[in-house]
Structures are given as C-alpha cells and as structure tokens.
Structure 1
Amino acid sequence: MRFSITRGPATKVAGLLLGVALALAVPRPSHADIFEAHEFTLPNGLDVVVVPNHLSPVVVQAVAYKAGAADGLPGKNGIAHFLEHLMFKGTDTLAPGQFSREIDKRGGSDNAYTSQDVTVYHQEIAKEHLELVMKMEADRMVNLRLTDAIVLPERDVILQERGERIDNQPGGRLGEAVDATLYLNHPYRLPVIGWRHEMERYTTEDALAFYKRFYSPSNAVLVVGGDVTVEDVRKLAEKYFGPLPKGADVTRERLHEPPPAAPRRVSLSDERVRQPYLVRSYLAPNYRNAKGNEGYALTVLSEILTGGSAGRLYRRMVIEQQSALAVDSGYDGGPYDIGRFNFYATPRQGGDLAAVEQEIDRQIAAVLKDGVTDQEVADAKRRLQISAVKARDSVSGPVFMVADALGKGRTLADVQAWPERIGAVTAADVLAAATQIFKPANSVTGTLLPKPAQEAAQP
C-alpha cells in the first residue's frame, strides 16, 4: 500500500554544453564513516548520492521529491499522497501499471511513501536492471500523463484507503486528533492522506498542478545503493536524468506555529477498543533548527527512558511495577519544520491508565529535578552507535535514510555525522534539552478508551 503514516519528450540540451557541464559534476566522497557514500549534482540541479554495498548483486534506487502533504494548498493537503498513487499510471511510453509490471517480472519490487515533507519512490532489483528502473523513473519525473478516466477511479482507491487505515481504526483516528491539537497553525496538523470531505473533491487538475510545481530534477534527490560503482551510476544518471529540464525554483510556503499557551487533552472511546492506550506528544526542535546538539541529546534521552530493558520507564513500569504491558518513547527530529517527542503506554489487562500516566509524569519530573547520570548517557550512546554501525550491512537501509533526510532539507554530512554527534552528548546536554521541551503547555495527551457497553449500544 502506497501510503505512509509513515507510497512528452524531455528538453534537449546542446551536446557540447551538456558534456562540459556534466564533466564538472564530479562526485564528492563523504568524510564520515557510517557507510561509504558519494554525492554529486547534475547541471539541472538533481542531487545524486551513491551508497556502494557489494554484499549481494542487488541495487536499491530511491527518488525523493522535496514535497509532501504539508506543501499542499489549503483544502488540498492530501494531494501529495494522491499524486503518489497516480505516478504509477503511465506516461507516453509506459501504460498504466507497466512501471510496476516491468519490475515485478524481473523479480524486483517497487513502492512509494508520502509523509508531511517528502515523497519517495523506490525499487529493489538485480543490478543488471538498474538502467531500466532509472530510465522509467526519469521518464515519469516529467512525462506523467493523467486524464479523468485514470484519476477519478484512483480517487475512490484513496478514499477506501482512508476508510481502512483511519476511519475504521480507532488508533488512527486518535492519531489524527492528537496531531490536530498539537499543531495550532502549522499544516502538520492536517492528515497526510487528507480529510475525507476534501479528498472527495480532488480533481485531475489538482494532481497535475502539484506535479508541475514540485516534480523536477532541481527539487529531487536520487539515491542508488547496492552493487554499483559511482562511475556507473553517474553515467546512467547523466544519460536519463541529465537531459531533463531543471524546473522552476521551489520554496516551501508554510504557516508558522505560534508558541503554545496551555496543555491539551483529547480522548476517544470506541467499542472496538479492548486495551486502553495513551500517547503524549511534546513539540520539540528538529535537527535542522535545534541549537547545538539539542536534537541528539533528545535522542539520547529517549534511549535512557525506554531503551529496552535498561530504560528507566521500561524497567520501572513493565518490570518492577508490572503496571504497563508496554511503554515507549521516541524523538522525531526529522521533520522539515518542527520535531516532536512522544510517549506511548498501554496498561496491563485490567490496569489503570491514569496510574500509567502518573508514572510517566513522575519519571519526567525526576529527569527535570535530578537530570541523568553520566553512566546512563554513556550506555545509551553506546547502544545508539552500535545500531548505526549495523546499518552498514543493509542495502536498503542507508538508501532510505539518505533519501528521507535529504528530501527533508538535511545534508549527507548530517547523516554521516550522526554517530559523532551522538557521541558528543553529555548529561548536562540531556538535562538542558529535557528542560526546554518538557513543559505542560508544550504537550498534548491523547487517550484511547473502550466504550462502555450501554453507551456502545445506543444508536
């Protein structure tokens, strides 16, 4: 399913000028060492990253467009996800669905996903077919062909998808309510897939307008990983993406979030809920706008709180008190504009959701009062850095990591420097970051509850 809550001839350039310009697009090897990676930029603005990994004769290709749901016009925020579906509907040279069929019959796989900030299309296939997938991806970057006969049936598909993933899922509806309450003004408050009443009015013109505005080489990142060389990828990228027109310059135009004034709560009851559930979200700086290593300190803090059996909350609530069936936290510093820090908890069967929330509050208060220890920080950093090292063994992992990060405005150097910046975090950094975000007015608490039998029976 192409959805994430988390899937005409090109212009010709004069041969001599193109050849000279392409010769200047030399790869710049990264100096960090999570994985080997090389970056170069084509004259039309396409950013290209190559992540060689010769463990198997497989390649993974991803194209990330720097456009997501938050870039839609008012009333059209879900159009980014709708266009993601329509990108598989064909060009002058590819029939609807042929893109995926060509990959499938060669034993490969393809898909896509849309988030608030980026839309990513990706394929995994034997290395001898890289030229085919690159040719097809370049083709649909500028040559998508849409008509009402193609678009309107797909609109029914995304409406059905919304029903399955959101409308008929109490957890999905709670997530929408939390987002709409956490962000007062910023478009992150709107669902990636869109509101149903707006989706019902999407048109072919809406999809084409978004496509023409955002889909171009200068607003995209091509990442290729696996059994490839930089030279091979550069030749193919120059051949298929190089002749495409640069496209207009794109500026993200988004409403800004005002300072929060009060803590907020939302609660959803549903007869299908068997286990209560709690989520607490705090607005937080993201990696792009954090001061110093604030974002990395929040990553370490999350690991200290819920990093496996060693985490404070996990140890206290799941092992010692046995009050919670599960508890977790997470810092998301990836979004282009605003990050967030989340807590999640489910009490044991028959347990008290209020008691679980109180314990989370006590643990937050303990961090704010006494901070964290040097040993906790050292242990958390070691676990995080080990997980980064393990990423080297994956072919697809680094590709998705780079595509997502660069699509959201970060750099390859940022991605590669992650272990180093995690390693620089101190206990004082963690306390300072926690003090900055753990403010009641900065939060929304959402609860998912079973609906009482007598209430559920009412029409």
Structure 2
Amino acid sequence: MRTRTLAALPFAALIVLVLLGLVLGRGGSLTAEPLPDTFRLSNGMDVLVIPDHRAPVVTHMVWYEVGAADETPGKTGIAHFLEHLMFKGTDKIEPGQFSRIVARNGGQDNAFTHYDFTAYFQVIAKDRLPLVMEMEADRMINLKLTDAEVLPERDVVLEELRMRIENEPAAELQSEMNAALYGDHPYGRDIIGHKAEIAALGTGDALDFYNRFYTPNNATLIVAGDVTAEELKPLAEKYYGGIAERAPTFLRKRTEIVSPAEDKRVTRRDPRVEEATWIRFYPAPGYAGAGAERGAALDVLAQVLGGGTTSRLYRALVVEQGVATAVSSWYEGSRLDGGKFGFYALPQVGGDLDAVETAVEGEVARLLEEGVTDEEIERAKTVIVAGAVYARDNQRTMAYAYGEGLMTGMSVEEIHEWPDRVREVTKEDVLEAAKSVLAGTHSVTGELLPGGRS
C-alpha cells in the first residue's frame, strides 16, 4: 500500500494526524531562522530549499498541484490511482524497482494524495541526492504503463478502499458527514474515489491524467536538509531543468463550497462498533481563505476548547461531569477551498450521546458568551509555538509543512512566520474567530452506534 490518505483513515487516527498537523505542521521553520531559498527553473518548476545541516541527510520531495478534487466527474480515484502507478517503472527502471533502489542506498520513500495535491518523497544520505533526483525526474516524463501493471494495481486500490473505508465504520461515518458538509464540492467525496468508478479506470485514463498534470510547470521541488541553494540549483537544472512543459499550467475551476442551510445529523449503527462515538463538523475557511491572523486564532481556539487534558472540554466533560472518556476539538485549515472545525467525543461506557452533545454545546455557548481567559490563551499559544520549535527536529516535517502550505494557498512567508502570528493572537481574536465559525452557522453531527447495520 503506497499511501495513507487522510480521508481514508479511521477517525481516531485522523484526529491524531490533524492535531499533529496543527501543532507541528504550521511554522516548521521559526522566524529566527532565515527564509528558505526559492527559485524557478526555466520550464516553470518552482524550487524551495530548507537548509538543515545537523546531519548529512536530505528529504527530497516533488509536489504536483493536482489532487482528488481536480478529477473529472466519473473518474474519481484517478489521482490516487496514478500515485500508485508512478512506482511501476520507466525504460531505465523496471516495474517495482524504484523503492528497492532507494532502500538499497539506505533511504526511505513514499507518496501521498490529498484533495489539492499529490507528492512523492525520499529521505536519503546527501551523497545520494543526485540519484533520487535523477530517478524522480525520469518518472516525471518517462512513466511506462501497460495493462499488465495497471489492472493488478487497480485491484490493490480497491482492496485499500475496502480495508480503510468499508471495513472501518468510523471512516464510513466520516464519508457521509463530509458529503453532508461539502455537498457537491469534491471535498464531499473520499480522496480514494467511488468504488464503481475506480473499478472502471484503465491504462488510458491513467496516462491521460499523467500527461495532463505531471509536467514541471505544475510541480514544486522541495529539498530540506544538508544542502544549500547554491548546491541544489545546478542539480535541479541538470535533472529537472531539461524537462519540457508537456501541458499548460493547470488553472483550477471548481464549484464553490455551499455550507449547509440547516443542521444535519448522520447516524450509523454497525455490529462492529463496541462503543459509541459523537462527532460534529462546522464549515470553516481554510488557512488561505481565513488569512494569517484569523487562521492562527482558529488554531488557538481549537487548542483552548479541546487541545488536551487542560482544555475546557476535557475538564468539563471528563473531569467534572464524567460524561465522556475522551474529547477533542480541531481546526482543519489545510484545504485550498475551505476547511472545517470539528469536535470528537467518546461517552463513558454505557453513557448517553445526548449528554455528551449537551455538554459540548454548553461549553461552546459559555465560550461564545464569556470569551477566553488570559491563562487559557497563553497556555494554548505556548503549546502551539513549542510544537513549531520541536518540528525542527524532523526534517521531513519541515518539508511537508512548507509543501502543504504552498499547495493550499499560503506563501513561503506566511508559513515561515506562523509562530509569530500565533504569538500575536489576542483574546478578542479568539472570540471573534469562534463567533465566525461556531455561532449562526449550521453543523453536521455524526453518531456512531453499536447495533444492526444502518
């Protein structure tokens, strides 16, 4: 299995990844450090260099500005399917050998598909950087596909869908909730695609998608690690600069997100479920749409409400009222067209979801009425900024933070300065952000219950 798409994960795992994204992903480089170097090759490929000289290791990433939300209707799943197929080989590399070559040289590699981008990466010793650059550039232009490779991989993707969604009641619930929240917008469907449409994809579909979108003028190269822009530029020009534009730069034309006109509720019963789960989504802008100040305020709001054992929701629902065993809130802003603000709670064994819902709503109402305290906001900001500091210990996290931000509408400067934006958030900013998302808007509530399948 080549990737772990966020929409295909069990909900508990999704919560963990989203919270890590908030704490670690934003601001992977602190403003005390210089801005990463950027330049553009003559064929339109953008390049970002993030120096980190603590070890002779580099993380090499190529990001394509195309994802599951850019698929042609009736061809859902093709972005993720092609991600799998990119490992099938070229004239120079036999099918299935790409990852083996990386591993033989002491490295690791993988790829991932998002609604707004698809990316490929290798983590490897600095002296092997030219090798992976040559290999990645080769498959950008020379991918070879036949039915012999494509059709068996299609079965692999279908099995992934069964395992990650159909066999995970929480993921099925999340799929229905996203459809209710986003409506006809592509964010309302799973990244992996619709089962019947995946089953109909063929070699021609994959090659058409590849030839249209996998072109250097639609790609960004990010290299983090023991390298400087002066060292990387000649390598980038050597391996990527000679690739000609194969298609026009992609200009997105998506339908607008229409927020729910009324509160919605999705209830699923499943015999595989042992304990009930309560979830709620509110429509919210993405980081790019919110702007730096409001986006940072939404991050702080999520931390204050449900960011750990000192949060309002945990103290109220778990410690004081005893109606829940776990509760959290999060802001998912890494979406180009619009994100969401979410809540998640597990009731006490044998507990009542209605009691959990009432308690969450009570805490939200209290915050909207009273605002937040100085102590709460300072503690939340400290946690988020500290996470940004710790992110520097993970080279791949730094590279991912910049790539994800750039692919979802942020600038290098906004990503770099995120810790400062968080530090500047005031109580008034948090209250205003809370009112904009949690007051006067319609939510989608999900209930996952034990019992007969529904």
TM-score, length basis structure 2: 0.91
**SS of 1:341 mapped into structure 2:** strand
Distance 1:399 1:165 in 2: 26
Following superposition, the deviation at residue 348 of structure 1 comes to 2.1
Letter paired with 2:194:
W
Letter paired with 1:413:
E
Letter paired with 2:318:
V
Give the total of aligned pairs. Answer: 432
Correspondences of 1:301-312 after superposition (within 5 Å): 301-312=301-312
Residues 1:367 and 2:367 are matched in the alignment: yes
**SS of 2:248 mapped into structure 1:** coil
**SS of 1:197 mapped into structure 2:** helix
**SS of 1:325 mapped into structure 2:** strand
Distance 1:400 1:59 in 2: 13
Question: What is the aligned partner in structure 2 of residue 423 from structure 1?
Answer: 423
Letter paired with 2:51:
P
Question: What is the aligned partner in structure 2 of residue 401 from structure 1?
Answer: 401
Residues 1:300 and 2:300 are matched in the alignment: yes
Following superposition, the deviation at residue 430 of structure 1 comes to 1.1
Question: What is the aligned partner in structure 1 of residue 56 from structure 2?
Answer: 57
Q: What do the CA deviations read for 1:328-352 (whole angstroms, capped 9, x no partner)?
A: 1111111010011111111122222
CA change 1:210–1:387 in 2 (3 A) is: same
Question: What is the aligned partner in structure 2 of residue 37 from structure 1?
Answer: 36
Q: What do the CA deviations read for 1:364-421 (whole angstroms, capped 9, x no partner)?
A: 1111111112332222112211111111222111011111221223221111010111
Contact 1:220–1:407 (CA<8 Å) still a contact in 2? no
**SS of 2:212 mapped into structure 1:** helix
Residues 1:4 and 2:4 are matched in the alignment: yes
Correspondences of 1:338-377 after superposition (within 5 Å): 338-377=338-377
Letter paired with 2:323:
S
Question: What is the aligned partner in structure 1 of residue 449 from structure 2?
Answer: 449
Contact 2:292–2:421 (CA<8 Å) still a contact in 1? no
Correspondences of 1:328-339 after superposition (within 5 Å): 328-339=328-339
**SS of 2:62 mapped into structure 1:** strand
Correspondences of 1:85-124 after superposition (within 5 Å): 85-124=84-123
Distance 1:36 1:345 in 2: 39
Correspondences of 1:41-440 after superposition (within 5 Å): 41-246=40-245, 247-290=247-290, 293-439=293-439
Letter paired with 1:345:
A
Following superposition, the deviation at residue 162 of structure 1 comes to 0.5
Distance 1:35 1:63 in 2: 22
Following superposition, the deviation at residue 31 of structure 1 comes to 9.7
Distance 1:285 1:422 in 2: 17
Following superposition, the deviation at residue 440 of structure 1 comes to 6.1
Letter paired with 1:263:
D
Which stretch of structure 1 is more off in the superposition, 371-380 or 113-122?
371-380
Distance 2:88 2:187 in 1: 28
TM-score, length basis structure 1: 0.91
Q: What do the CA deviations read for 1:57-106 (whole angstroms, capped 9, x no partner)?
A: 21111111111100000021211000000000111211111111100111
Following superposition, the deviation at residue 279 of structure 1 comes to 1.2
Letter paired with 2:184:
N
Contact 1:34–1:391 (CA<8 Å) still a contact in 2? no
Distance 2:102 2:348 in 1: 45
Letter paired with 1:390:
Y
Following superposition, the deviation at residue 35 of structure 1 comes to 6.7
CA change 1:204–1:439 in 2 (3 A) is: farther
Letter paired with 1:135:
E
CA change 1:171–1:442 in 2 (3 A) is: same
Distance 2:32 2:203 in 1: 45
**SS of 2:290 mapped into structure 1:** coil
Letter paired with 1:278:
W
Percent identical among aligned pairs is 47
Question: What is the aligned partner in structure 2 of residue 20 from structure 1?
Answer: none
Contact 1:306–1:313 (CA<8 Å) still a contact in 2? yes
- Gaps spanning 5+ residues in structure 1: where? 8-29
- Structure having the higher Rg: 1
Which stretch of structure 1 is more off in the superposition, 42-51 or 236-245?
42-51
Question: What is the aligned partner in structure 1 of residue 21 from structure 2?
Answer: none
